[in-house]
Amino acid sequence: MELMKHAILCVDDEADNVDALERLFRAKYQVLKATSGQEALKLLDQNRVTVIISDQRMPQMTGVEFLSKSLKSHPDAIRILLTGFADIEVVVEAINSGRIYRYVSKPWDPVDLVNAVDKAVERFELGQELVVKNQRLQEALEELQTLDQAKNQFMVLVNHELKTPLTAMLSFADLLAETKLDEDQQRFLSRIKQAAHRLQDMINDALELVSAETQQTKLDLKSLSTPTLFTREIITESIQQLATNRHVDFDFQIENQKVIGDERVLRNVLRRLLHNAAKFADKQTRVSIAGRSVAGGLYEVAITNLAKTSPKIDDHRVKQLLKPFTLNENSLNHSTGNGLGLSICHALLKLHHSQLRFAATGDEVQVSFQVSLDPEIVSTP
């Protein structure tokens, strides 16, 4: 199928000049001709034009006046002004009111004029591509805004429609536990409560992730002491129990500095990472938690553990790890969980203008993140 030729409108009060322009361009372009500004405007009302070439010195309506009026119907067309006078005021007026692409002195050089038109057509095509891309970006933005609205609606739904009945289930389970139950009934009730608490954890995690991703989580940024922030006391009973069962020890090596961050959020991130480290480290090994200042006015926290069966960590693997609800028994050795821990950490760190970083060397696996040093304490290198 033959592509439609670009249309060029040539305007000059001298018919011979218009005919000469037609002969120059008709092999490559569709050429429209007019011998006055009024006639040219009528042609623009009836045709889609890519390039407009107009003489300046015309009776009744000058080239600048015509080009300025052509903006109304063809704002994207590329305009070229032909002038036989080296009049800078005319050129300036054409640029300001007619938005010309360039001007060509008469008598024109055919090669120069052809090149100018070819470049003008390229510019027009690039402009049209930009319009399409901007439209797609706008559509993508609207889609993202729709997704954000859906996430907000999801939070409302989960808070009301899931947490309310779940709270009732747990409350009645506690009441039932106070009654006289036989051994089987106690076992059944214990399993009900375990399942309900697991569902409650998953709901809370999902809400925390959505809240962070939609930037509804509000940070309380303060200057924090790293030995106090990243301390052994951050290890919860469940983390310690997991570590004890796997004979995993924790080794804290925290450089004393002041950082800017939300204490609750950063402790939450480290706690989740320690839980993962204890779960996936090889048995009878040590998990290292190191904190130190690095270049750029930043403080880095790195959690390193031994995991001989760990897969290679590349960009694709990182994206997979950070994807919510991603569980991979073969490569991550998951036994329990909902696949939200790393996603939550990454979303919370984004609020600190940071992110999770992964590295694997030999049999060591490391996950790290960086936060800003307090600028009043340490100057940026």
- For residue 201, the model assigns a pLDDT of 82
Model confidence band, residue 283 (pLDDT cutoffs 50, 70, 90): confident
Q: Nearest 5°: phi and psi at 277? A: -60, -45
Q: pLDDT tens digits for 197-207?
A: 888 888 888 77
- What percentage of the chain reaches a pLDDT higher than 90? 38
Which sign, positive or negative, has the C-alpha torsion 278, 280, 283, 287? negative
Owner of token pair 């070819």: 118
Across 97-111, 170-184, 331-345, the highest mean pLDDT is recorded for 170-184
Q: How high is the mean pLDDT of the chain? A: 83
Q: Nearest 5°: phi and psi at 150? A: -65, -40
- For residue 329, the model assigns a pLDDT of 45
Domains in the chain, please, with CATH?
Answer: 7-108 (3.40.50.2300), 134-213 (1.10.287.130), 221-372 (3.30.565.10)
Q: Is the pTM of this model over 0.85?
A: no
| pLDDT over 50 at 1, yes or no | no
- For residue 221, the model assigns a pLDDT of 93
Residue 272: name the closest of 213, 311, 321 by CA: 321
Cα angle, residue 143 at apex, residues 141 and 149 outer, rounded to 5°: 105
- For residue 255, the model assigns a pLDDT of 94
Q: pLDDT tens digits for 25-77?
A: 999 999 999 999 999 999 999 999 999 999 988 888 988 889 889 989 998 89
Model confidence band, residue 138 (pLDDT cutoffs 50, 70, 90): confident
- For residue 331, the model assigns a pLDDT of 39
Peptide bond into 107 cis (omega under 30): yes
| pLDDT over 70 at 337, yes or no | no
- For residue 353, the model assigns a pLDDT of 92
**Alpha-carbon dihedral 135, 140, 144, 146, rounded to 10 degrees:** 60
Residues 131, 83: contact at Cβ < 8 Å? no
Owner of token pair 């010309």: 100
Across 169-173, 281-285, 347-351, the highest mean pLDDT is recorded for 347-351
Model confidence band, residue 84 (pLDDT cutoffs 50, 70, 90): confident
Q: How many C-beta neighbours within 10 Å does residue 351 have?
A: 17
